[in-house]
Structure 1
Amino acid sequence: MTLLDVDGLTVRTADGRTLVDDLSFRIDAGERLGLIGESGSGKSLTTLALLGLLPDGMRAEGSVTLAGTQVVGAAEKQLTAVRGRRAAVVFQEPLTALDPLMRVGRQIAEPLGRRTGLKGRQLRSAVGEALDRVRLPEPGRIARAFPHEISGGQRQRVALAMALACEPDLLIADEPTTALDVSVQAEVLDLLDTLVRERGMAVLFVSHDLAVVAKIADRALVLKDGRAVEEGPVLDVIGTPTAEYTRTLVAGARKLEAALDLRSAR
């Protein structure tokens, strides 16, 4: 069953400049798609357009059908019904995505309470279980903390717990590990892979890191200047790229990996 169907998506600024150009792809239930491209390629704008969250001054054209709802041109009431329950997003920097003035537990309790109808002690218990599920130690302490009082890796796990609270059909992960150090990044990726597999969710994983995408995604779509240049099974796209731009990305990634291996061997 097709969960997300994007057809001719175009994003323009108020002065008519095209940032995403005639983009088409689909994600079936339970499928994992990696959206690859360097900074400025249109990846994040694409994810925002999928949920009707484009910044003021930008407009989307074309068609985005998410779980049967047409997102482009939809009223806010329609979009509110889709966000969270049908699709949820985890952004690159959770410190900006989380409310700095609200304790972590309360931020998780809001979507969890809307979905389950739980209140009081039962809701607090469910929040603790949600934090435990994303492998956070001392969930009671974390629930009482404000976002700035916990580490970056812990904040990203909190953001993941919030996204999963409504048990969405599609998880959109926009560079979710870029701001983390390598060891924490590996832990979060392993956690994400485990949770997605257990719940059978579809994933749109956005990243410029080819190695990370290869660990998470089944298929890959490569963007350059807002246009799709290549799409296919992720191992084919990375192993035997056909587009010149993709070959450049792969060569750059291999050169960096070789340099890191050489440095660690010294």
Structure 2
Amino acid sequence: MSSIAVANLTYCHNLFSPPSLVDVDIALPPGSRTILIGANGAGKSTLLQLLAGKKLVTAVGADVRISGRDVFRDSPPGVTFLGTEWAMNPVVRGDIVVSAFLDSVGGYRHKERRDRLLDLLDIDLDWHMHNISDGERRRVQLCFGLMVDWDVLLLDEVTVDLDVLVRDDLLKFLKADSEERGATILYATHIFDGLNDFPTHIAHMCFGAFTTPPTPWPLTPDSPLTQQFQPSTTLYNVALQWLKEDRDFRRELEKQGRKQRGARRDETVPSDSETFYRKYDYSH
């Protein structure tokens, strides 16, 4: 049985927007560590939030399961989701001491694992949450989220604020934890330095669809990706090439009528905002 299984998944945020996910079908084995690669807006965060049950799918035929259980109708235990929005929550930016915060969320019940994470993430229990940096607040989030054993871990850009040493220690911890307990990780990130030895699979998303489904990593001579890459290619270079291809593809679509990004050099009539600011520009 797959640890994560998604079939026939299409998702729209509202009735007026194009789909954020289109016909997604993936299956991840237990113990796998999959890196999601894709440009901003490719659908990575939406997919992770759906797997965590944070958004509801109403499309007929969509099937989203973790450990064989429907994430919307039979919520599976052992699923942990860690995303970037946590650190902006006013509750965790208040004047509360880290030791009291961790106790308030049950840290006293998981002392051994909590203390291991406190050492690994280099956290001062006397920090006040409103007085620390974003990176330090992110460390507290990771301790809070990881101190309870998980079967499936969904990570959305949560290492972006960490310094390189703490990030490296964290990735080694997660890899060992996954291997020891057969736990599954699905990780969306834009930081690929030091990540080459972490995943068992990589996947590529573009415009809400998987252009490359989860594929074993590192590459082997018989990998389906060897038509594009040498087996010795690093994860960083794979990601760089995929993202360049995505950008080229989007620019071709723009030539065919898709809304363009970047400067609007063909406009001869000033915009309303430009007209206004020119009229009241007192800088000269």
Above 0.5 in TM-score? yes
Point out 4+ residue stretches in structure 1 off by more than 6 angstroms: 137-140
**2:33–2:199 contact (8 Å) kept in structure 1:** yes
CA–CA separation in structure 2 for the residues paired with 1:18 and 1:169: 29
Change (3 A) 1:197 1:12: same
Shift of 1:180: 2.7
Q: Percent identical across equivalent pairs?
A: 23
Query: Is the partner of 1:136 in helix, strand or coil?
Result: helix
What is the letter of the counterpart of residue 24 of structure 1? D
Structure 2: give runs of 5+ residues left out of the alignment.
230-235, 245-284
Match in the other structure for 2:93: 100
Q: What is the 5 A alignment of 1:28-177?
A: 28-54=29-55, 59=57, 61=59, 62-72=62-72, 74=73, 78-79=74-75, 82=76, 85-92=77-84, 94-96=86-88, 99-101=92-94, 102-110=96-104, 112=106, 123=108, 126=109, 128-136=111-119, 141-142=124-125, 144-177=126-159
Return the letter of the residue paired with 2:102: I
> Aligned pair count?
229
Using the alignment, how far apart are the partners of 1:28 and 1:207 within structure 2?
20
| Distance across 2 between alignment mates of 1:108 and 1:169 | 21
Displacement of 1:5 after TM fit?
A: 0.9
Number of the residue aligned with 1:250? 240
Tell me, in whole angstroms, the C-alpha distance in 2 between the residues paired with 1:162 and 1:249. Answer: 30
Alpha-carbon displacement from aligned partner over 1:14-69 (angstroms, at most 9, x marks no partner): 22520111111122221111111111111001100112213xxx745311112232
Structure 1 or 2: more strand by fraction: 1
1:152-206: CA deviation from partner (whole Å, max 9, x where unpaired): 4443332222223331111111112122343443233233333333443211111
Note the residue ranges of structure 1 that are not aligned, 5 or more in a row.
114-122, 255-266
TM-score (norm 1): 0.70
In angstroms, what is the RMSD of aligned CA positions?
3.5
Q: Distance in 2 between matches of 1:185 and 1:140?
A: 13
Residues 1:222 and 2:204 are matched in the alignment = yes
Whole-angstrom CA distance in 2 between matches of 1:31 and 1:71: 19
Given that 2:52 and 2:154 are in contact with CA atoms closer than 8 Å, whether structure 1 keeps it comes out as no
- Separation in structure 1 between the aligned mates of residue 188 and residue 239 of structure 2, nearest angstrom: 15
Match of 2:2 in 1: 2
What is the rounded CA distance, in whole Å, between the counterparts of 2:14 and 2:243 in structure 1? 35
Q: Call closer, same or farther: CA 1:250–1:103 in 2, change over 3 Å.
A: same
Q: Structure 2-normalised TM-score?
A: 0.66
Q: Which residue of 1 aligns with 2:162?
A: 180
CA shift digits 1:107-132 (9 cap, x unpaired): 4345547xxxxxxxxx3xx4553442
Question: Is contact 1:42-1:223 (8 Å) kept?
Answer: yes
The question of whether the paired residues in 1 share the 8 Å contact of 2:84 and 2:158 is answered with yes
Q: Distance in 1 between matches of 2:88 and 2:30?
A: 30
Report the secondary structure of 1:134's partner residue: helix
The DSSP-based 3-state class of the residue aligned with 1:18 is coil
CA distance in 2, matches of 1:192, 1:9: 28
Larger helix percent: 1
Task: Give 1 or 2 for the bigger CA radius of gyration.
Answer: 2
Q: Which residue of the partner structure matches residue 183 of structure 2?
A: 201
